[in-house]
Amino acid sequence: MASALRRVCRGATHRVAAVTQRHLSTGRGFPRPRPLPLLLVTGGGYLGYYQYRKSGLEDGESPTATDTEVALYRSFPTRILSRAWGRLNGVELPAWLRKPIYSLYIWTFGVNMQEAAIEDLRHYRNLGEFFRRRLKPAVRPLCATSCLISPADGKILHFGRVQNSEVEQVKGVTYSLEKFLGPQNGHTDDPASFREGLLSSPLSDLFHVVVYLAPGDYHCFHSPTDWKVTLRRHFPGSLLSVNPGVARLVKELFVLNERVALSGQWQHGFFSLTAVGATNVGSIRVYFDQDLQTNAPRYSKGSFHDRSYVAVDDQVCETVGVASCDGGVTTDKGGVASDKGGVALEKGAAVGEFNLGSTIVLLFEAPKDFTFNLTAGQRIRVGESLGSL
């Protein structure tokens, strides 16, 4: 009896195993994953949560991303992707493939090739050369009557006075002035006094303007005025998108991202131009500083690297957390002059370039009666007036 029972159990076990194996091999009998319904349910739930958060805000305002959402976004390997994109941009394309690929890009992003110094698409050996194409000399005339001109082609995201130590990147979304520029010599750690410490006169005020460069824009940036650069500060960091839609969601986006800040003086006092990196914009180049290397594989979170263009004992000082000096000289390029007192830039001179579209932030001291000739969201080009006195 016992042996018969064992035979029955073994037979049942074999049949279950055979059925299971058949189901596994055919995919039948077990629920298959349904990615589309899952995405729809998840997306719908998030949109409902987003609308719930938005309902408590005033008309026209959008809820910013939570710390968890920003941390999740920052966990994406955007730096690795940007380096991979940079390598892809350097791959030489066959001559027969260049025109169709560049034509698709031109159609997608609305590029005006009639302004390009070289309109023949077959001339550009790779995507990188096409992105960094030069323009015809006459297509970007400089406004002679304005003391401050646009440093880049793009869209005006925000502009105005810096009322305190919080600066608006878009309407209602801010970033810390102190975190953005980093510590300044002779300034206290009090954030409330950081803005005042940048001003050289009680008759002056601090102003800012943000220019967003889209992928189809001209990717070089120029000097917005006659000024002298005394310090380059490189902040390694994330490479999140700086698209206006993302800028409205992520508070302190410009502080999180990798950026290169050039600081110095113009006729009215403090002046700075900061090139902010973004996804697929791992490469920020400054023509007169060949030592600058951006989007390195490794970096220390929260660190910055200084290079002073004011020489002491014929040496150019470089700082990484603590002061250290290394000999070096800057390289002259049209409109640029270097000496022991800094790098002098002429208005309209080419300063550097992005690998793709990104953002330029100007922070500058000016008399209180300085007025912007701008509207938020307007398109602007290199050489056009930003404001006047």
Catalytic sites, residue numbers:
153, 222, 358
Q: How far apart are CA 275 and CA 278, in angstroms?
A: 10
Instruction: Render the burial of 199-229: b for 16+ CB within 10 Å, e for the rest.
Output: eeeeebbbbbbbbbbbbbbbbbbbbbbbbbb
- Phi, psi of 199, deg, nearest 5: -85, 140
- Residues 253, 237: contact at Cβ < 8 Å? no
As a residue count, the chain comes to 389
For the sheet with 385-388, list strands across it: 148-149, 385-388, 371-372
CA distance 188 to 307: 21
Whole-angstrom Cα distance, residue 263 to residue 260?
Answer: 10
The whole-angstrom separation of Cα 317 and Cα 319 is 7
How does DSSP classify residue 122? G
DSSP 221-239: EE-SSSEEEEEEEEE--B-
3-state secondary structure 172-204: CEEEEHHHHHCCCCCCCCCHHHHHHHHCCCCCE
Instruction: Count Cβ neighbours within 10 Å for each residue of 83-122 and write b for 16 or more, e otherwise.
Output: bebbeebeeebeeeebeeebeebeeeeebeeebbeeeebe
Give Cα 40 to chain centroid, integer Å: 31
